[in-house]
A = this chain, B = another copy of it.
Amino acid sequence: MSFNTFGKIFKFTTWGESHGPAIGCVIDGCPPNISISEKEIQKDMDRRKPGQSKFTTQRKEEDKVVILSGVFEGKTTGTPISIIIHNKDTRSRDYESIKNKFRPGHADFTYFKKYGIRDYRGGGRQSARETACRVAAGAVAKLVLSKLIGSKFNVIGAVTQLGLMSCDVNNWEDSEIRKNPFFCPDKKSIKLWEQYLLSVRKAGSSCGAIIELRASGIPVGLGAPVYSKLDTDIAAALMSINAVKGVNIGSGMSSAYLSGEENSDEMRMTSGKLKFKSNNAGGILGGISSGQDIVASFSVKPTSSILSSRETIDKKGKNSNISVKGRHDPCVGIRAVPIGEAMLACVLLDHYLMNRAQCG
């Protein structure tokens, strides 16, 4: 039972609210003697942080990570790594006007009903600001995996659907993803997406997104049936991200439409090396990695904070209307890319260690 802790061996616990003095995480179970640095972690932080383009919230946060423990002379010691990120640009006044109303699509209502208390400033704990900590933990996980598995290890994510706009996944290029503000893997779609998202923002509206994650270099044998399956833990990891409503592994929901012949991935030895002829399984069979690329995708619902007036109720149970101004992403899904990568990296490292525990 771990309300704010993720993982089983490589565990991280996050804390902090959107408008508190700081947020942070404590990473436990990290293998010792791995080189890590604030600078390396910061690279991933910078990909998630707000205020980077006109397509994300204008809240300005440096998201500067500070390591408080667990690292000595540049190396992990095997003890807890405490990371803190100070909040800089909090404007709690922005939230005064809505402090007694529940924003539809947000967790204002459910938090208040559950806990009997509500930190209305920027959503408090329910804010996606918490995800900065996940990215920090994920950055550490990637460094560890790179050391344990070697350079063939890689995790990368991209937006493959931006609201109503798709892209051609066959044009996926890793190098392209980090060059555009949408994490779009298909160069040809970028212009169109830009126009689309500008019009969404202009309308004071918002849109959803689908993010696809790919991990390569993953050894066969990670995953622990039947209730710690690799896909089970990936599903939990991704569904725990704010605003996520669906998760697919490999062919995902679409596998329902396939025939048995189409779906199961045939195997062949070619020049002494195993090749699967397709990857509907997303690299996972019976909850265990097969050596193929791990492929998962997830949907992010449209930002709930929009300009249009919406019907709601207030804390006293009176009907009311609400229109959320503040500073918001027209598509929160975009910034979910580094978060998804981070969560996937954490799950993979966790299972790497779990497998090492049981199977040596």
A-B contact pairs, 13 of them (CB 8 A): A4-B225, A5-B28, A16-B80, A75-B117, A110-B290, A125-B226, A163-B259, A232-B236, A261-B308, A266-B311, A269-B318, A353-B358, A356-B360
A17 close to B (CB within 8 Å): yes
Instruction: Give chain B nearest CB distance to A311 CB in angstroms.
Output: 4
A110 to B24, CA, bound (A): 30
Mask: chain A, 166-187; 1 = CB below 8 Å from B; 0 = not: 0000000000000000000000
Name which of A46-54, A57-65, A296-304 contacts chain B.
A296-304
A140 close to B (CB within 8 Å): no
Mask: chain A, 113-127; 1 = CB below 8 Å from B; 0 = not: 111111100001110
CB contacts (< 8 Å) of A116 on chain B: these are 32-33, 359
Instruction: Give chain B nearest CB distance to A64 CB in angstroms.
Output: 15
Mask: chain A, 188-226; 1 = CB below 8 Å from B; 0 = not: 000000000000100001111110000000001101111
**Residues of A269-298 whose CB lies within 8 A of B:** 269, 272, 274, 277, 280-282, 285-291
> Could you say how many copies of this chain the assembly holds?
4
A55 close to B (CB within 8 Å): no
| Tally of chain A residues near chain B (CB < 8 A) | 151
CB contacts (< 8 Å) of A124 on chain B: these are 72, 77, 79
A118 to B16, CA, bound (A): 31
Q: Which residue of B lies closest to A333 (CB)?
A: B256
Instruction: Give chain B nearest CB distance to A116 CB in angstroms.
Output: 5
Q: From the candidates B209, B236, B274, name the one contacting A235 in the complex (CB within 8 A).
A: B236
CB contacts (< 8 Å) of A253 on chain B: these are 210, 245-246, 248, 252-253, 299
Instruction: Give chain B nearest CB distance to A114 CB in angstroms.
Output: 4
Q: Given A15-B68, A163-B257, A207-B259, verify A229-B239 contact (CB < 8 Å).
A: yes
Q: Is the CB of A312 within 8 A of B245?
A: no
A20 to B325, CA, bound (A): 42
Q: Given A233-B236, A264-B304, verify A223-B110 contact (CB < 8 Å).
A: yes
Instruction: Give chain B nearest CB distance to A324 CB in angstroms.
Output: 10
A303 to B255, CA, bound (A): 11
Mask: chain A, 143-177; 1 = CB below 8 Å from B; 0 = not: 00000000000000000010110000000000000
Q: Is the CB of A227 within 8 A of B286?
A: no
Q: Is the CB of B240 within 8 A of A227?
A: yes
Q: Which residue of B lies closest to A148 (CB)?
A: B360
